A and B are shown apart, each in its own frame.
Chain A
Amino acid sequence: MRLLLVEDDKDLNRQIAAALVDAGYAVDKAFDGEEGQFLGETEPYDAVVLDLGLPGLDGVSVLTNWRRAGHKMPVLILTARDRWSDKVQGFDAGADDYLAKPFHMEELLARLRALLRRAAGHATSELVSGSVRLDTRSGRVSVDGAVVKLTSHEYRLLSYLMHQSGRVVSRGELTEHLYDQDFDRDSNTIEVFVGRLRKKLGVDLIQTVRGLGYLVEGVGEKAGASG
């Protein structure tokens, strides 16, 4: 999952970015409204963490511009202004969630997980495909109940594919959504990681659709309701 973080405070930006990377996301950072808006318009993000009090273009305008241009990625607004009028304004501009400063990092991560899940159409935090279960909350993956240890790159790949279950995901899309903009995308790492995942979780989980990409099939959720 690739996220965009727009926050002008350098320390907070660094902290949030570190926490997001720790949680297994690829993160692009922007420090002002213009840069943030440009990245949001040009890169395919799975979600955005957007501070409202930005120098230059403010967050609400950035969000409004995105929505007007048809960008539908989930946006979590982060702001010090937490009157209900501010929140209403943010939600009306197209925000999907709202977090007031100061906040706890776990809260931010939980809200993001929920946003990503909802965007992918899943109702619960646990994604299931055959014997493989992925708990987005704890980041734990198990096969038939046995916990399997994954590296962060492996986890990202699996998580993205399982979020996009039932749909063929191209290698290009995977590259775009798994790595931040500074990553060297020419490498063949995707295939390497798919191979490792198959080794760890069974060859049936990720199918290769020749010429198109990869597919995780038969994915259902714990509740059985797949969106």
Chain B
Amino acid sequence: MQILAGRSIAVRLAVSSLFWSGVVLLVAGLILSTLYLRATERSFDERLLVYANDLAADLVTPTDSGTRDAGSLGDPRFEIPLSGWYWQLGRVDAATRDLRSSRSLLGNPLPTLAPPVADRPFGGIRKESVVGPEDRLLRLIERDIDLGEDGRFVVRVAGPADEISSAVRRFVLALILTFLLLGVGLGVSTLLQIRFGLRPLSDLRGAVSAVRRGEADRISGNYPGDVAPLAEELNLLLEANREILERARTQVGNLAHALKTPLSVIVNEADGPTVELSVRVREQAMLMRVQIEHYLQRARTAALAGTLGSVTDAAPVIEALARTFGKIFQDRDLAIEVSVASGARFRGERQDFEEMVGNLVDNACKWAVSRVRIRVDLGEDGDRNILRVVIEDDGPGLPEGARAVALKRGRRLDETKPGSGLGLSIVVELAGHYGGSLRLGSSRLGGAQAELALPGLGPA
């Protein structure tokens, strides 16, 4: 079974079951054909014995003529020359060998099965296959008959052995045909059984790959008793994996945040006189800040795969953001208009939704002259619900050529506005993780328009 190592269970089961059914069928066939051969031989022998007894009876029963004669057995095959059916009758105790044969023998002798009478005890029946006239295989039966003072006789009757072998051959042929059909049937049913029996395994594989693709967060479904523990273990493993991921994410976050305070100290310490050292320190500190932001973001998005199934109501988030921006930009007298389709929901984490919309609204507020508009509605793309968030301002707007640049990481179109320049690229990255997209355009308000398309959900 070494060659099967590494093959699928289905192949292993199929090969081993086909192999063993083959062996069983072969052995059964051999046994059956042997038994049949024996049975056929026996019944043939019995027929020969009947003839032999007839001949013996003819010897014993005195005929009308008073002579002991054994002539015709009433079977014409003994008359046809070299038909394969022969008999021979001879007296063995007298000096005169009174030997008579069937006409079919044409004078040929039949082989004897026993040594001369003097060398053995007289009596009994012997059977054997021998080669007869014309090298034909014969089945020969030989019987000793003791008639007392009337003499001792040996009767031999032979029939063609190919009658046996052809009967056996026919039987074996039929047997092979039957067993072939049986084998094919067994094979088919084995394959069906394997498919049926292994279905829980392929179901399990489907469930695991659904988890890997992010379509499910655990393995669900009913599994038979021997697979269920495996599914349970897999779920525990997934759970542990998720915990590790969550812990790693938290730790990356903690590390990044813990670094920011000392970084603040460094930046402030260097904020003194503009000597070369302080300029260099400020520069490097700024780089560190950008790096920290970048990897923080990476850690956040990397964990997105494990946060499936969460749903966020759009309205409270948008309202909270509008409230927040109202406070942040309260000196600017901005009108932040909000309209959210009732019941519109985002298929994802609240924090990520806040991050995407927050960055876009932040940009809009920075550039707006007096108005910012946030619209949320539900659309459809095929069978998917799309949550569309459109954020417009009445600022200077974004020229066509600048739009692609704006989406790149670390790009800032205007260094005079505060910000790390990560905003839009974070939005693009997050939206991408959710299978959504960000489009920049121009607004009817006169400024820029950002359109965020995200996986959505209608009213609950």
Structural contact, A80 and B260, CB atoms closer than 8 A: yes
User: Would A9 and B265 be within 8 Å (CB), given that A83-B355, A87-B358 are in contact?
Assistant: yes
Of the residues A19, A92, A104, contact of B320 by C-beta under 8 Å: A92
Stretch at the interface among A36-44, A95-103, A135-143, A212-220: A95-103
Contact surface of A with B, Cβ cutoff 8 Å: 9, 11-12, 15-16, 19, 53, 80-81, 83-85, 87-88, 91-92, 95-98, 100-106, 114, 118, 123
Q: List 7 A-B contacts (CB under 8 A).
A: A12-B261, A12-B265, A53-B261, A85-B351, A87-B324, A88-B358, A101-B260
Structural contact, B321 and A102, CB atoms closer than 8 A: no
CB closest chain-A residue, reference B327: A91
Of the residues A83, A84, A100, A105, contact of B321 by C-beta under 8 Å: A84
Interface size class of B (residues with CB under 8 A): 20 to 34
Structural contact, A53 and B257, CB atoms closer than 8 A: yes
Count of A-B contacts judged by CB separation below 8 Å: 84
Of the residues A95, A104, A123, contact of B271 by C-beta under 8 Å: A104
Q: Which 10 residue pairs of A and B lie closest in terms of their CB atoms, listed nearest first?
A: A84-B358, A80-B257, A80-B260, A102-B264, A101-B260, A102-B263, A91-B324, A85-B351, A85-B354, A11-B265
Structural contact, B267 and A104, CB atoms closer than 8 A: yes
Structural contact, A103 and B264, CB atoms closer than 8 A: yes
Give residues of chain B (273-291) contacting chain A, Cβ–Cβ below 8 Å: 285, 289
* Interface: B54 (CB within 8 A): no
User: Would A12 and B264 be within 8 Å (CB), given that A53-B257, A84-B359, A114-B331 are in contact?
Assistant: yes
Point out the residues of chain B lying under 8 angstroms from A114, CB to CB. 331
Point out the residues of chain B lying under 8 angstroms from A87, CB to CB. 324, 358
Structural contact, B323 and A19, CB atoms closer than 8 A: no
A69–chain B nearest beta-carbon distance, Å: 20
Cα distance A104–B263 when bound, in Å?
11
Point out the residues of chain A lying under 8 angstroms from B321, CB to CB. 84, 88
Cα distance A91–B325 when bound, in Å?
9
A80–chain B nearest beta-carbon distance, Å: 4
Point out the residues of chain B lying under 8 angstroms from A92, CB to CB. 320, 323-324
* Interface: B330 (CB within 8 A): yes
Structural contact, B268 and A15, CB atoms closer than 8 A: yes
B364–chain A nearest beta-carbon distance, Å: 13
Of the residues A9, A85, A102, contact of B267 by C-beta under 8 Å: A102
Point out the residues of chain B lying under 8 angstroms from A91, CB to CB. 323-324, 327-328
Structural contact, B328 and A101, CB atoms closer than 8 A: no
User: Would A98 and B355 be within 8 Å (CB), given that A12-B265, A84-B321 are in contact?
Assistant: no
